[in-house]
Amino acid sequence: MRKLGGILGLMVLFGVCTFGAPFRVAVILPSTINDFAWSQSMYEALVAIQEEMGEDNFQFVYSENMYVIADAAAAIRDYATQGYNLIIAHGSQYGSSLVDIAPDFPKTSFVWGSTAQTFTELGIHNIFAYAPHAEEGGYVNGVIAALLTKTGVIGGIGPIKTGDAKRYAAGFEKGIKDTRPEVQVNYTFIGSYSDVALASEAARTFVNAGADVLTGTAQMTVGAISVAKEKGIFWLGYDVDQSPLAPTTVVASIVVDWTVALKPIIGMIQEGKRGGEILPLTFANGGLKLAFNEAALEGKLSPIEIIELKATVWETVRKIVSGEITIEVE
Amino acid sequence: MGAGAPRPPFLRRKMRQTVDRVEMRGIVKRFPGVVANDRVDFDVRAGEIHALLGENGAGKSTLMKILYGMYQPDEGEILVNGKRVRFRSPLDAIRAGIGMVHQHFMLVEPFTVAENVALGLPSSRRFVNDLDRVSARIRELAETYGFKVDPRAYIWQLSVGEQQRVEILKVLYRGASVLILDEPTAVLTPQEVEGLFRTLRHMREEGHAIVFISHKLNEVLSISDRITVLRGGQVVGTVPAAEATRTGLARMMVGREVVFRLERPEVEPGEVMLEIRDLWAMGDRGVPALRGVNLEVRAGEIVGLAGVSGNGQRELAEVIVGLRRPQRGAVRIGKTDVTGWPPAALIGLGLSYIPEERIRDGGVPEFSVEDNLVLKDHPFPPFSQGIFLNFPEMAHYADRLIKDFDIRTPSRRTPLKSLSGGNIQKLILARELSRSPKVLIAAQPTRGLDISATEYVRRRILEQREKGTATLLISDDLDEILSLSDRIAVIYEGRIMGVVKSEEADIEELGLMMAGVESR
Amino acid sequence: MIGATLVGIATSAIRLATPYLYAAIGEAIGQLSGVLNLGVDGIMLMGAFTGFYVTLLTGHPALGLLAAMATGASMGLLMAFISVTLQAEQGISGIGLYLFGLGLSTLLFGMTVGTVKTVSGFPQAPIPGLSRIPILGEILFSHNPLVYGAFALVPLAWFVLNKTPLGLKLRAAGQNPLAADSLGVDVIRVRYVAVVLGGVLSGIAGASLSIALLNVFQQNMTNGMGFIAVALVYFGGWRPLGVLAGAMLFSTVNAIQVWLQVQGVKIPSDFALMMPYVITILVLASMAKRRIHAPAALNKPFERGGE
């Protein structure tokens, strides 16, 4: 009872503080806020939260292009010193920096994304984590791809075989196999988040091998999207709605809505919790969304075919949400 | 230019004037800390060979580089055919009909002869090279002046003498009336020197004006019409060659009497200290540089290794001192087979080495004079005790050597690279000889030194002979070999062509062996 | 099937080799004159950006290409000023130039375009007639104009370097600048010309990515290609044909690597990615004993009488 009283007292104290000052967030991004992928989706999430809470209550700053881990670590430490309430390290490569820095700033909360690890086992209790279930998005895109392909050849282009990219690829392949087992799918990793030329060459090689639907994750895929556009084949996107890049090419995008993880984290911090929680992003909790771009199909499929396709896809999403479809990844 | 030498087309167009007379008046050139030329007057006329004589550092090359437009004089004027001119770059000098053959050849090694000649000239085909026409003209010129050269050969394939001919060709091709030759004989065999002199005389007949820079008295006396002597940047005097004598010129150069004959007391050679048996080794270009060398040097004996440079002398020295791995054969010091030993072990056995490239191989340019003097002996007492160096002892030793060997340096702390070539040579000599070596390899020990320094170095080497050192003297300077050696071995293309006693040696025969003719 | 595969790989390789060819031949010209320019990647990025931006504004890729060339020329001029006139250490100045190009192209892109956009760059231009030849037509004659340009550059560079007075002066400036100077060759000017020319070609290399092959711009989109280009110059022994061989080897292995992964051949992707670099290093190492030497005066500032 006394313990509960203590917590309540702390909450009151904290509440007083938070009512006086705005909630301040700093975010470290590996690429630019307009990369049409990973970093942009996080930036958009923070803008959305700010609109919701109001600029007086929520402020955020960002450091983009932090692809050098040492630079990122320095920025994280700077922000922590400046007394930000929450510091978001938006990239799995920043984990070791957080383990190093977080214990020095016990009053500050950190978020590590995207992973399913908060280092409580190391005695660190001020790190949150968020983990998009990229395999769910991959699965849905896989179903779409299987229904779209006429040649029966589908390709995927990833950066490095780890984290979200790996989970997305596994889901994508399973989505295809569950829908049309005879379809041939190959997923290639080009070893870089920035090599646009190699991503584009991988796309061309897929086209030469007969592929008529492509997908991929990370910011270097713009090269591949541009090839898909040039060759008149379909592209399935991830992270943000990529259809503005190529309106007649991008059929669907899995949009990651980070607010679904960030809002609860902000709430927990305001209630006095510092870390230790892992927040999933799924279709079920709205962390993943499907942005369907019907315009890309017009003239290529008949209206009835389009309706059938959409029905199957939404049915798949419903089944994932209800748990009728589960996707296991290692 | 004489009537016998037709001009290349691009020069014919411009109707270049012939030069009858070039004068330099009151030339002053200062470099930081020195006055290289101090109110120098000099002139050369068409149809004469005018020698510019002086020790190293007397200002000969500087004066001629001013005439060739490479340096700007601080004071004074240059007149061509009585008209004042100003050369801002070599191009201006070339346009005025003046050409220069540099001491260090200005040739692009990976280029052909024709490419080297054509370099910098406009092509008769404008945007495409006209090397075929250049080649034809080179053959014409070579014929006119009586030498052979293949315009398509690459420079690196040519002997030093042939390379020099390319340098002369470059100048002639550009239609030069005035030809400046900077120490042209330094790298030639006696026969090649004769060949050069024939060419020069031929050119004199054709009406060229020739400036011949040298510090070798014999050559100057035999080739020139007039001789101007420089000392310390000033003109000592100009004399007609016919009235000049060796001793007179030497006195003018050095400023005191010079002894030409070195004392060489009889020394009974002892046992064999350095023995080389059937030695084979590769050169840097991957072709064999040594092809079965056999040689022995006894205690108290100097064996001179004569030969045109590039015939394996450097490689032989490097194999002996452990810097190059032999492919076959043996090197013995005393009775010990030291083939393939590392340099440190050889130093321990009493081997000393005066390298040819002394600035590159003889010391550490950034280190002080003192550190360079103890470079080889610092791991041993009295300079080191345990892991510590004994600095007072090192300083004391360095001061003594600086005094004994007359090394001109501001202090023992001065970095080696600030010393003049002669003083670097003295330093290396000091370090190598003070170790009382059993075997001394001296490669080009006096190259680049002035008369006084040369005399000093030679005396030291002879002193060492009396102390019982076995010396292998490698030199391009036949005079040096003749005056120091007990026996003379001639090397040609990595083989010893013959070994003769020095008192029985005949310059003619040595020259033939140096050119590859077997000893009789 | 096998035929189509080989055609695909060969076509890929030719496309991938294009930026390397421009950059490496430009670099070879600079190095032959005695200037090592490690800033190629930075110049490529600036060329890629200006080419892209001007094409975006005007809709004319030809104007974009001109802008990329002008940018390359000015970056080359800057490099020449630093390394030839100021005689700064070439390796360090080049790395400075690279970082400058990387930073400035990112900054300018952020300020002007900001987001991912595509442009319509040079269209494919199959050569009439020739492109109909079975197999060869597809591999060689159905490309972008800038691809043809890169391959045409090889014999052109060879001719200029070996058969013209300019080439003779340029190589002499890199082998023995003192000798060249003594014959009235203006070594400083020759080196400026070579480095600026190299800059122009690096600018085209960048533009070939942003307005011909990919039609997008992203920060650091060259991903170190400029440094591979420098390595290809050594690989090619400073000869255009050697550079061509090196670029084709590198890009072919890269194309095979992509193809193997696309075909689902089960090799670890990290291993496949290493292949082009490993093979390049192996070939370089095996050729270390060749008797081809760098220009003797490479990396050495020229000063008259500076013996």
Any domain includes C20: yes
Contact C216 A189 (CB under 8 A): no
SS3 content of chain C, % helix, strand, coil (to 5): 70, 0, 25
CATH topology of domain B9-250: Rossmann fold (3.40.50)
User: How far apart, in whole angstroms, are the C-alpha atoms of residue B469 and residue B376?
Assistant: 19
Beta carbons of A183 and A148 less than 8 angstroms apart: no
Residue B175 has pLDDT above 50, yes or no: yes
Any domain includes C191: yes
Bridge-based pairing of strands B83-85 and B75-80 is antiparallel
Instruction: Give A110's strand partners.
Output: A87, A127
Which residue in this structure is represented by tokens 């938070």?
A18
Beta carbons of A81 and A106 less than 8 angstroms apart: no
Q: How confident is the model at residue A10 (pLDDT cuts 50, 70, 90)?
A: very low
φ, ψ of residue B493 to 5 degrees: the values are 45, 45
pLDDT tens-digit profile of B85-115? Answer: 999 888 889 889 999 998 778 899 899 999 9
From first to last of its 307 residues, what are the pLDDT tens digits of chain C?
A: 577 778 888 988 999 999 999 999 999 999 999 999 999 999 999 999 999 999 999 999 999 999 999 999 999 999 999 999 999 999 999 999 999 999 999 899 988 987 778 888 899 889 888 888 888 888 888 899 999 999 999 999 999 999 999 999 999 999 999 889 888 889 999 999 999 999 999 999 999 999 998 888 888 888 889 999 999 998 888 999 999 999 998 899 888 888 887 777 777 767 777 877 888 788 777 766 665 678 888 888 887 654 3
Q: What is the mean pLDDT of chain A?
A: 88
Residues of B in contact with C158 (CB under 8 A): none
User: How far apart, in whole angstroms, are the C-alpha atoms of residue C210 and residue A196?
Assistant: 10
Q: Give the side-chain half-sphere CA count within 13 A for B337.
A: 5
Contact C178 B123 (CB under 8 A): no
Chain centroid, CA B162 distance in Å:
16
Task: State yes or no: chains B and A have 3 or more CB pairs below 8 A.
Answer: no
Residue A130 has pLDDT above 50, yes or no: yes
Residue B309 has pLDDT above 80, yes or no: no
Contact B119 C176 (CB under 8 A): no
User: How far apart, in whole angstroms, are the C-alpha atoms of residue B333 and residue B317?
Assistant: 14
Q: Where are the domains of chain B?
A: 9-250, 267-350+437-520, 364-435
* pLDDT at position B259: 62
More confident residue, A258 or B420: A258
Contact C165 B122 (CB under 8 A): yes
CA-based nearest distance C117→chain A, Å: 7
Any domain includes C91: yes
CA nearest to C202, candidates C83, C70, C113? C70
Residue A266 has pLDDT above 50, yes or no: yes
Amino acid letter, residue B144 = T
Beta-carbon pairs below 8 A across chains B and C: 75
Residue B382: asked if its preceding bond is cis (omega within 30°), the reply is yes
Any domain includes C200: yes
pLDDT tens-digit profile of B283-300? Answer: 876 778 899 999 999 999
Q: What is the CA radius of gyration of chain C?
A: 20
Contact C164 B106 (CB under 8 A): no
User: How far apart, in whole angstroms, are the C-alpha atoms of residue C109 and residue C161?
Assistant: 36
Which residue in this structure is represented by tokens 């282009």?
A157
- CA distances for B347 relative to B218, B304, B435, angstroms: 39, 22, 10
Asked if B9-250 and B267-350+437-520 have one fold, the answer is: yes
Name the residue range of residue C17's domain: 2-115+142-286
How many Cβ atoms sit within 10 Å of the Cβ of residue B387?
5
Contact A223 C214 (CB under 8 A): yes
pLDDT tens-digit profile of B449-470? Answer: 777 778 888 888 998 899 999 9
Chain C contact residues (CB < 8 Å to A): 4-5, 8, 11-12, 15-16, 19, 106, 110, 114-116, 118, 209, 213-216, 218-223, 225, 254-255, 258-259, 261-264, 269-270, 273
Which chain C residue lies closest to A161 (C-alpha atoms)? C269
We report the CATH number of the domain holding residue C275 as 1.10.3470
Query: Which of A99-108, B36-45, B162-171, B255-264 is predicted with the least confidence, judged by mean pLDDT?
Result: B255-264
Any domain includes C256: yes
Any domain includes C294: no
The continuous run of DSSP H or E covering B315 comes out as helix B313-320
Split into its structural domains, chain C has a count of 1
**What domains can be seen in chain A, in order of their start residue?**
11-132+257-281 (3.40.50.2300), 134-256+288-322 (3.40.50.2300)
Any domain includes C219: yes
Which chain B residue lies closest to C183 (C-alpha atoms)? B120
pLDDT tens-digit profile of B338-374? Answer: 988 888 888 888 899 888 776 667 788 888 888 888 8
Instruction: Give the residue from C218, C252, C271 with the most A CB atoms within 10 Å of its CB, the best one to mutate.
Output: C218
CATH architecture of B267-350+437-520: 3-Layer(aba) Sandwich (3.40)
* pLDDT at position B337: 92
Which residue in this structure is represented by tokens 């890629």?
C48
pLDDT tens-digit profile of A48-72? Answer: 999 999 988 999 999 988 888 888 8
Q: Is any Cβ of chain C less than 8 angstroms from the Cβ of B72? A: no
CA nearest to A180, candidates A152, A201, A156? A152
User: How far apart, in whole angstroms, are the C-alpha atoms of residue C29 and residue C286?
Assistant: 24
- Structure-block tokens of residue B267: 């020394």
Q: In the 3-class helix/strand/coil scheme, how is B392-429 assigned residue by residue?
A: HHHHHHHHHHHHHCCCCCCCCCCEHHHCCHHHHHHHHH
E strands in B137-188: 178-182
Contact C116 A229 (CB under 8 A): no
Q: Is the ipTM of this complex over 0.90?
A: no
The percentage of residues in chain A with a pLDDT greater than 70, rounded to a whole number, is: 94
Which chain A residue lies closest to C256 (C-alpha atoms)? A205
Residue A14 has pLDDT above 60, yes or no: no
Residues of A in contact with C10 (CB under 8 A): none
